[in-house]
Structure 1
Amino acid sequence: MIQSQVTSTAPGSALSGLLLELRDAARVPALSAAVGRGGEVVWADVAAAPWAGEPTAEHAFRIGSVTKPMVAVAVLRLVSEGAVALADPIGRHLPDAPAPDATIRHLLTHTSGLQAEFPGPWWERHGGPTWDELAGSGIEQLWDPGERYHYSNPGFAVLGRLVEVVRGSAWDKVLRDELWEPLGMTATGRVPVGPAVHGYAVHPDADLVHHEPVPDYRAAGPAGEVWSTPSDLVRFGMWLVSREADRDAGEAVLPLELRRHLAVPRVVVDDAGPEGGPWATAHGLGVRVRQDGTVRTVGHGGSVPGFTADLRADVATGDVVAVCGSSTGGFGDGTTLLAAFQGDGAPTVPPVAPTAPPVSDDGPAGRQAGASGGVPAGIAGTWYWGPVPFVVQVDAAGRVDLRSARSGGRGTLFDVVGGELRGVEGGYWLGERLRAVEADGAPVALDIGTFHFTRAPYDPGTAVPGGVDEAGWHRPGATG
């Protein structure tokens, strides 16, 4: 899986080699990218392993949460027409919505207080709920609206439902009619509208792959179901920063004043983890606002099993980069490619952090935690969220420290609250539950905010939501 092939619409571009390095360093089966300047897509490229077929720049990837800013545009169009107001409690328009007292602005900025994921099995692999199932699922509101930032996929399912109810049409049809077609995003859809790549998990310690399922997300679709190409995402990004080719079409989608309203930093994204750290990211109305040194970008990242994506549009220059990959483990982000395109020195590919060694769960802290009755004995050690390694440690006070084994990854500290483990400091799972799934008196899986963690990547001996590849972990290309 080391060698790659590259197909480029800009032969000889210096970005081609960098994309190839990124693909090889992250071991992504296919990595596709595009950049835009002055309203035009000026470069597009695909780097792929020889066994991953022959994807072109026209092949679509699932873009995960890059769906969210598109849904936000549909909501802002309703605001511009006076059909809804940002200050409206969502319950005024959707009486059966969770957190009915949260406003539309709260939902767009992830400050509604809603939990991060949908109740039930890991929805990104298992499939999403219907609206009626979602409305009756008992989604938790962990905080009062406006109290703090907490990323919520259910929050955007609610916004998608709002669009459907007010427009009287499916959310993705609304996006096609009101956003994608006017901006020339002809390769974008809720399902692929042209050729598409397969999504894989790549084993962290061997040249083995595992096919990922592509379930129907149903009412959860507005949180991350869209397929697109980097070129289409670049067109969207250029529109976000008012550098679209057709200004009349762009203005018809949403006036410039409201587009700027989208990108106003409204809440700090405090996901630094238990040890804290500097803030570099804020959230606007459905978009991420990032500060990378002197460069401010708006856009969003996305991930679902089998795919990751990143969209970044430079607010000052209007330059845009979009990258899509076909691996659950991801590739990083588009920062390096954007810097290279803008000639910012000689960007190098960030080194891939090694997998951390297993942590023994036989030490005194582990035994003490088990004896306390709040933390299961034997919980410490290495666990895998799909193919991505995490390390669990238990301190002398019986608190559970979960963090990615890779530098810059997610981390949350859990403690016993009300008789169950809850995230109490930092990171994505703040406020969320951690539950051990046991067999023969020992933990064999962890359910963390509905995500399924196992001792080995996609351990078939556990109930992995969405199932496992029938071929198991296998050599790439062995099963087509």
Structure 2
Amino acid sequence: MRIEPSTARSLSQRLAVEQSTQRLPSIAAGIVRDGQLVWSDAIGAPDGRADGAATTTDTQYRIGSISKTFVAVEVMRLRDEGRLDLGDTIGTHLPEVPFPQVTIAQLLTHTSGLQAESNGQWWERSEGGPWADLMASAPALRSTPGTTFHYSNVGYAVLGELIARRRGKPWQDAVSAGILTPLGMTRTTTRPVEPAAPGLAVHPSADLLHLEPEHDAGAMAPAGQLWSTVQDLAIWAAFLGGQTRDVLARSSLTEMLQPIAVNDLAGAPWSGAHGLGWQMWNVAGRRFAGHGGSMPGFLATLRVDISSGDGVVLMTNATSGLGPATSELLDLFTEHEPIAPAPWRADQSQSAALDLTGLWFWGTYEFRLALGTDGELRLGTLGEGRGARFKPAGDGWTGMDGYYRGEPLRVERNDTGRPVRLVLASFVFTRTPYDDAAEVAGGLHPAGWH
């Protein structure tokens, strides 16, 4: 896809404004559509000096906690291979941990209750130690597992060790073999490979720089060790947008993108949540997924509109200062390059289930059933009450949304083949309220409607 030159100029202008007004040594960004990097640019010099070499979209930046998404996908790959279950307690696989009751799913969603940071020195600026040292420091639970959201870098160190045990190799080697190499992400590494930007801090009250340390975080590395480029992160954004290739089943990615743990701020309506390794945002009815990353000297973001697959990646080498460029770049792109809706077409396959359409009643509640694409049924209005979609499954359908997610729906017909009952999670839907032509649990009063 080729975007309009005016769109590219507007995006580059917005990126330049971010670099200048936010006083960032350098910044690089890209936009993804239909699985392709359709725009990218880089502004500034990695060393922050006026005479320094210009940054490019092939310059590496440390991506911090975006590293966690690779760890999470590798855990899901292990699940899909039958090597673990998300409901397993971590003590089943790592018996030495002092919190054996925590589940793998809780670690992925930051609901384990595990402490946020490791004990001892500030791990993000200190040379890391081995797994045995991390466990010897006795990381503790801060809340009852499964009861609240509490972001935990230590939790992803644990998941990194889980991968190492199940794969029989270091977590980074497993991620490289199973994810990076198949996707062609050759510039994503655990340590910087030139050209790479140095981590810098910008003085808040002066135009001065301070060099941040670069190190191996050891056992804590799965929480934020990886370095990447615009081109490589664009591939990862395309993956998140559905271009999973053979790395992960699409159904497993969909499972990862269900918001599970709300990142609740007291007194404020929530707009952010976490799924199985991915951050989620709900912005004016649009659902986004991705992750942010920060390490001393670096900030990075990856965000994808789940419905369209459009995504943005952005990296800068500053400890703080990044403004709203990430969301504004994506908004600017979609405003200038809107996606045309798919043309409507008749679907002859729907004729087989046409007799299911129309009104159904659960007690005295009215629901309208309509047919959707790919054999889906739509019962009621999605987002209202118990409205939900159902996908074909065997001889019936399975709920896809809300209250009925994962619940079976079965159609029962009379001797003439006419549908008379929908049985959904034991509830009975009939063509009229408490239809006397259909069996209703609990029976019907002999007087009927009176």
TM-score normalized with structure 2 length:
0.71
1:336-375 matches, cutoff 5 A: 336-343=328-335
Quick one: distance in 2 between partners of 1:196 and 1:105?
34
The Cα of 1:25 is off from its aligned counterpart by 1.7
Task: Specify the code of the residue in structure 1 equivalent to 2:330.
Answer: L
Quick one: distance in 1 between partners of 2:206 and 2:297?
17
Partner of 2:20: 24
1:304-350 Cα deviation digits (max 9, x unpaired) = 000010000110110010000100014135111111111179xxxxx
Tell me, yes or no, if the aligned pair for 2:7 and 2:336 is still in contact at 8 Å.
no
- The answer to which of 45-54 and 224-233 deviates more is 45-54
Partner of 1:172: 172
Q: How many residues align?
A: 328
Q: 1:109 and 1:51, CA in 2 relative to 1: closer, same or farther beyond 3 A?
A: farther
SS, match of residue 43 in structure 1: strand
Gaps of 5+ in 1: 1-8, 245-249, 346-480
Q: Does 1:253 align with 2:244?
A: no
The Cα of 1:212 is off from its aligned counterpart by 0.3
Q: 1:326 and 1:51, CA in 2 relative to 1: closer, same or farther beyond 3 A?
A: farther
Partner of 1:352: none
Partner of 1:55: 55
Quick one: distance in 1 between partners of 2:147 and 2:41?
43
1:332-383 Cα deviation digits (max 9, x unpaired) = 35111111111179xxxxxxxxxxxxxxxxxxxxxxxxxxxxxxxxxxxxxx
Q: Does 1:15 align with 2:7?
A: no
Partner of 2:219: 219
1:220-260 Cα deviation digits (max 9, x unpaired) = 01000000012211211111121x3xxxxx34211000010
Tell me, yes or no, if the aligned pair for 1:10 and 1:44 is still in contact at 8 Å.
no
Task: Specify the code of the residue in structure 2 equivalent to 1:102.
Answer: V
Quick one: distance in 1 between partners of 2:320 and 2:35?
32
TM-score normalized with structure 1 length:
0.66
Tell me, yes or no, if the aligned pair for 2:241 and 2:309 is still in contact at 8 Å.
yes
SS, match of residue 110 in structure 2: coil
Q: 1:307 and 1:98, CA in 2 relative to 1: closer, same or farther beyond 3 A?
A: farther
Tell me, yes or no, if the aligned pair for 1:110 and 1:152 is still in contact at 8 Å.
yes
Q: 1:82 and 1:301, CA in 2 relative to 1: closer, same or farther beyond 3 A?
A: same
Q: 1:236 and 1:12, CA in 2 relative to 1: closer, same or farther beyond 3 A?
A: closer
Q: 1:10 and 1:64, CA in 2 relative to 1: closer, same or farther beyond 3 A?
A: farther
Tell me, yes or no, if the aligned pair for 1:231 and 1:322 is still in contact at 8 Å.
no
Task: Specify the code of the residue in structure 2 equivalent to 1:67.
Answer: S
1:190-209 matches, cutoff 5 A: 190-209=190-209
Quick one: distance in 2 between partners of 1:158 and 1:287?
17
The Cα of 1:52 is off from its aligned counterpart by 4.5
Partner of 2:367: none
Tell me, yes or no, if the aligned pair for 2:35 and 2:241 is still in contact at 8 Å.
no
Q: 1:344 and 1:101, CA in 2 relative to 1: closer, same or farther beyond 3 A?
A: farther
Tell me, yes or no, if the aligned pair for 2:64 and 2:224 is still in contact at 8 Å.
yes
Q: CA RMSD in A?
A: 1.8
Task: From the CA coordinates, give the structure whose radius of gyration is larger.
Answer: 2
Partner of 2:258: 264
Tell me, yes or no, if the aligned pair for 2:125 and 2:215 is still in contact at 8 Å.
yes
Identity among equivalent positions (%) equals 42
Q: Alignment partner for residue 34 of structure 2, among 35, 38, 58? A: 38
Quick one: distance in 2 between partners of 1:258 and 1:163?
17
Q: Does 1:104 align with 2:104?
A: yes
Partner of 1:68: 68
Moved over 4 A (4+): 9-12
